[in-house]
Chains A and B, each alone.
Chain A
Amino acid sequence: MFRQAAQESLLIILASSVLGLSYSAVSQKGLFRAKDSAVAIANTAPSVISFEEAKTLHDSKVLFLDSRHPYEFKLGHIPGSLNIPLNTFEESRSILAAMPKGKLLVTYCDGVDCNSSMQLAAKLFEAGFTNVKIFFSGWQEWKSHGLPVEQSP
């Protein structure tokens, strides 16, 4: 009788620990909270990714945000991406407000001569998004690899 109760208690403690540790890991709170807040901030700042990383993230269905002009977007864009032109960022706030702040987002624009992907990433970071990547070589590199593209009607 006592042995059974002890076994059950042990099982409950074990299950609680697994649950607690999992929550800490996922939420990055409690035990897994970053000790150095500067590191935490630096870690959550937007970072530049290569074409290969962008391709992997796109294959994983990560949301891409296209900061180019709507007409340019209409002519062709990375499949599944959402057009958030930099000059109309304020109008896109309602769309962004519906997204969790920790959602992984990839910004891109035309390519090497275009900085709006970085500017959009900066605005998203200011708005509280903590997992933003910048595909800096953008649309031109995507096209140069012959990958599928999408057009809007």
Chain B
Amino acid sequence: MKRALIFVMLVFSAGLLSAQPKFSIDPMELNLGMLYSGSSKTGRFTIKNIGTESLQIKYVQPSCGCTTVRKPQDQIKPGKSDYIDIEFTAVAGFRGKTEKYVFISTNDPTAQELSVKIFADVREELQPTSALSSIPLGGVPLGKEITQTISFKNITQKSIKVKDVETTSKNIKATSDKSAVEPSDTLTLTITVKPDKQGYAFESVVMHTDSNNQPKIEIKVSYIGVKEQ
């Protein structure tokens, strides 16, 4: 009787131990191929619970602001699948082979934290002449104007027209020194920032062009409005 009880307990324990969620994802690396700076591409990862218990997706987080994700449902039943849909935007500053991650955390003991990769090959027609293609200003006193310039070189064999330059905030003004930029020539945007509130701010300057491949170029402007007494 005692032996039978021990046997039952062992079988029960083994069953408990083997009853686990098991995370599977395909692909582990997603190659989006070539895209032009400023444009976006979408992709999909398929996740599946190949275990015997419900799989909990604790978080799905991209490694950068350049990637947005559509998260799967929080719980995936055994044998069921769901998707992580991503949209990658080649923001100004990405050049050539670019590698980003999506971090995933689950309740699978063997996949509590893991990452999948996104690859892209980013091309440009108007290439920033400086290493930084965004404008990080740090602290700027409220009401004070700060002016910065950023230049782009036309690396194509054709002339590119600037249709319009717009900003996402009334606190930022931007002008281009040229309405068209010839091959190998450079145009310069002059960007003026005048904060009117304290704290972190993140805005954009968008230059629209007649290029089919790069119809818009977004320059991100970030700063911290600082109180002036």
B109 at interface by CB-CB < 8 Å: no
Contact A114/B131 with A134-B138, A136-B136 known, Cβ cut-off 8 Å: no
Q: Which of B63, B93, B199, B227 contacts A72 (CB 8 A)?
A: B63
Given A68-B63, A69-B63, A137-B131, are A115 and B202 neighbors across the interface (CB < 8 Å)?
yes
A48 in contact with B103 (CB, 8 Å): no
Q: Does B226 contact A (CB under 8 A)?
A: yes
The verdict on A121 contacting chain B, using a C-beta distance below 8 Å, is yes
* CB-based contact B66/A118 at 8 Å: no
Known: A38-B228, A45-B138, A72-B101. A113 touches B93 (CB 8 A): yes
Task: Evaluate contact between A41 and B65: CB separation under 8 angstroms.
Answer: no
**Size of the chain A interface, CB-CB below 8 angstroms:** 31
Q: Which of B43-98 contact A (CB under 8 A)?
A: 61, 63-66, 91-94
For chain B, what secondary structure do more than half of its interface residues adopt (helix, strand, loop), or is it mixed?
strand
B-facing mask of A94-120, CB < 8 A → 1, else 0?
000000000000000011111100110
* Interface positions of B (Cβ within 8 A of A): 61, 63-66, 91-94, 101, 103, 105, 113, 115, 131-134, 136-141, 199-200, 202, 220, 222-224, 226-229
| A contact residues vs B (CB 8 Å cutoff) | 37-38, 41-42, 45-48, 68-69, 71-72, 74-75, 110-115, 118-119, 121-123, 125-126, 134, 136-137, 141
3 tightest A-B CB contacts, nearest first: A45-B139, A112-B93, A122-B200
Question: What are 23 sample pairs from A and B whose C-beta atoms fall under 8 A apart?
Answer: A37-B229, A38-B229, A41-B227, A41-B229, A45-B224, A46-B139, A47-B138, A68-B63, A69-B63, A71-B103, A72-B63, A112-B92, A112-B93, A112-B94, A113-B64, A113-B134, A115-B136, A118-B136, A118-B138, A121-B138, A125-B139, A136-B132, A136-B136
